[in-house]
Amino acid sequence: MPEANNSQSVLKKCKTGIKGLDEITGGGLPERRPTLLCGGAGCGKTLLAMEFIIRGAVEHNEPGLFVSFEENKEELTQNVASLGWDLNKLIEEKKIIISYIYIEPSEIKEMGEYDLEGLFVRIDRAINSIGVKRVVMDTLEAVFSGFTNMTILRAEFRRLFRWLKNKGVTAVITAEQGDSTMTRHNLEQYVSDCVILLDQQIKETILTRRLRVVKYRGSNHGSNEYPFIIDQKGISVLPITSLGLEHEVSTEIVFSGIPRLDTMLGGNGYYRGTSVLISGTAGTGKTSIAASFIQATCQRGETCIFFAFEESMNQIIRNMRSIGIDLEKWVKNGLLLFHVARPTLYGLEMHLVTMHKLIDEFRPKNVVVDPISNLNAVGTTYEAQMMLLRLMDFLKARQITSLFTDLTVTREVIDQTEVGVSSLMDTWIVLKSIEAGGERNRGLYVIKSRGMSHSNQSREFLLTSNGLELVDVYVGQEGVLTGTARFAQEVKEKERTLRLRQELESKKRELERKRRIMELQIESLQAQFEGESEELETQIQSYELAENRLDKTSLRMAELRKSDGM
Amino acid sequence: MDDHQTKQERATEAVGNSPPHLTRHRLTLYVAGTTPSSLRAIENIRLICQENFDEKHELEVVDIYQRPELAEHDQIIAIPTLISKSPNAMRRIIGDLSNTDLVLVELGVRPKI
């Protein structure tokens, strides 16, 4: 690591390998320095410390020493075997040393001055034997039960921590939490480089574990309480809020699965990596919109996780089949993963951690949470909101397009979601049941869609056996009409148009008729005129003939009379 | 366990094959090099042994720097530590053993006041 050598002032960090903890601490624990890990009984100190040692040995090739004052090697081996770690194998491979220090207070009597050199020698021997880089002391405070001279102990602890630093090992010292102090014996006075506090709370029978970095000298760190869980794979801490708003933004668009909704959104769908909220009252078709979205994503060959908090997988599959969406197909070919859990099954944090883990393992491009409103049942609205905020940040940082459904109870206030997360969402589609004329129909509005010139109109939204359809609602003098009323109105409209067209055509025909009549009249007049003119011409001719004849006759008569009058 | 056994054997050899005696004291003092408290403890325990026990007692002084494995086996944390395994139950007396009376009480030589 040439960088680190160049600048001595930059604090080097030692990766714990524990999911999330390295993110919160900005890279791990302070290297070659002791870290104090405190917390009440049973809150996971030993496990966290052990995971630090094991991951160091396995993943970072740093041999570890685990000094245990409470549990012996066999107990520790058994405890971590359930997490899939073979401690004995690591010990055989000389990657880990477990040193069990047993103190029996009843045997011990103090007389005069002493020090803890025995402990030092023992740790030193172990460190040198396999080149230990990581040391855990769990829990050092057990020493307090065996010895009573506080002045000596304090001085010795001070010396121990300094000595550990000089040895160049990264140490984790665990300590019990006191009533009003972080540790029962104020160890935090000596270990001042990094202090991590573990805590667990039980609220309404649900256990939540939390981790907080109280202090980290020379480094910035996430200062919130981060929930963590212990499961089959060890400890997972949620560092989500530390991510902030620095995630990448995509201009790529993903289809909503409903063609007309895409156009309503002003483009071709949702932006990739954004969060979409579908809110609405019961039975307005929220899940159906989600299912359409899933179908569209799976058809593109993208993966998706469906977090269902209300219905079972089979129920959703059956229901969606009725609108022509076959989700089972996608489950079978591995593109769609269902995660079904009752919200009250465990705490919000546990839900969040489970979701995180699944997302990290399955690496989906899209996520659906149906519905988020049920999470209110577990914690307060604020807690649910915080959880969703964290989830959204997490999803956005991974460029996962997410769709949340939210059940609104009050029908009047549509501009407020139950969980109060609408402001966090990029796209918000509201489904509303419109009640009129003795029936209830579904209406759909796009309240907002960030960065898109979305439609301001409402649409009627139909669930058909071929999927979802959006139709224009009737907006006119009689208000917004939907369902049968809209249909009736449409029929009425059609009739009126038809009538108009008929009238128009009849007028046209009348005009034509009149023109025909006129033409006929002209024709007949012409015919009459022609007839009459013929007759007159005949008469004229006959008169001319007669005249001619008359002239000839008088000439002939004059000839005959031998008249010389010519 | 091996360490323990060899040590016991070695200790037995040191005193010869004399039969175990009820009041025979077997003591091990762990010290760390020549630190002041270690030196004081060695001096104190030698004096106590000379004045209170017969020659059948066993006293072994172990320097943890030389024999860290013994210290580990005996779960030694504090230095100096005097371990008494016989004749009474296991006792650990830590400190420089400057209070002779209390040490004798702890070792069961004198009754508790």
Query: Does B102 contact A101 at a Cβ distance shorter than 8 Å?
Result: no
Mean pLDDT of chain A: 83
Name the more confident of A188 and A287: A287
- SS3 sequence of A206-249: EEEEEEEEEEECCCCCCCCEEEEEEECCEEEECCHHHHCCCCCC
Query: Does B71 contact A114 at a Cβ distance shorter than 8 Å?
Result: no
Burial of A397 (0-12, 13-18, 19+ CB in 10 A): middle
Residue among A531, A223, A206, A497 at smallest CA distance from A379: A206
Between the two ends of chain B, the Cα-to-Cα distance in Å is 37
CA distance A110 to B93: 6
Distance (Å) from the alpha carbon of A165 to chain B's nearest alpha carbon: 20
Task: Note whether A529 contacts B: Cβ–Cβ < 8 A.
Answer: no
What's the confidence (pLDDT) of residue A126?
92
What's the confidence (pLDDT) of residue B4?
47
pLDDT band for position B2 (50/70/90)? very low
- SS3 sequence of A466-517: CEEEEEECEEECCEEECHHHHHHHHHHHHHHHHHHHHHHHHHHHHHHHHHHH
CA distance A243 to A265: 29
Burial of A464 (0-12, 13-18, 19+ CB in 10 A): exposed
Nearest to B95 among A112, A117, A121 (CB): A112
What sign for the dihedral angle of Cα A43, A47, A48, A49?
positive
Query: Does A118 contact B78 at a Cβ distance shorter than 8 Å?
Result: yes
What's the confidence (pLDDT) of residue A517?
92
Nearest to B78 among A99, A102, A114 (CB): A114
Query: Does A112 contact B97 at a Cβ distance shorter than 8 Å?
Result: yes
Task: Note whether A109 contacts B: Cβ–Cβ < 8 A.
Answer: yes
ipTM of the complex in this document: 0.79
The answer to whether the CB of A130 falls within 8 A of the CB of B61 is no
Distance (Å) from the alpha carbon of A81 to chain B's nearest alpha carbon: 26
Whether the ω angle into residue B87 lies within 30 degrees of 0, i.e. cis, is yes
Nearest to B95 among A99, A113, A119 (CB): A113
Structure token pair of residue A176: 């019990």
Residue A356 confidence (pLDDT) above 60: yes
CA distance B104 to B112: 9
| Long-range CB contacts for residues A375-379, cutoff 8 Å, separation at least 24 | A375/A309, A375/A343, A375/A348, A375/A351, A375/A419, A376/A418, A376/A419, A377/A343, A377/A344, A378/A206, A378/A343, A378/A344, A378/A347, A378/A348, A378/A351, A379/A203, A379/A347, A379/A348
Give the residue on B whose Cα is nearest the Cα of A153. Answer: B78
Residue among A146, A93, A139 at smallest CA distance from B78: A146
Strand (E) or helix (H) holding A359? helix A348-362
Q: Which of A117-121, A148-152, A452-456, A535-539 has the lowest mean pLDDT?
A: A452-456
Give me the amino acid identity at A264. Answer: M
Q: Which of A308-317, A322-331, A403-412, B32-41 has the lowest mean pLDDT?
A: A403-412
Size of interface A-B (CB pairs under 8 A): 93
Q: How many helices (H) and strands (E) does chain A have?
A: 15, 25
Give me the amino acid identity at A74. Answer: E
Task: Note whether A107 contacts B: Cβ–Cβ < 8 A.
Answer: yes
Taking residues A488-497, report their average pLDDT.
82
pLDDT band for position A7 (50/70/90)? very low
What's the confidence (pLDDT) of residue A367?
92
pLDDT band for position A159 (50/70/90)? very high
Distance (Å) from the alpha carbon of A13 to chain B's nearest alpha carbon: 31
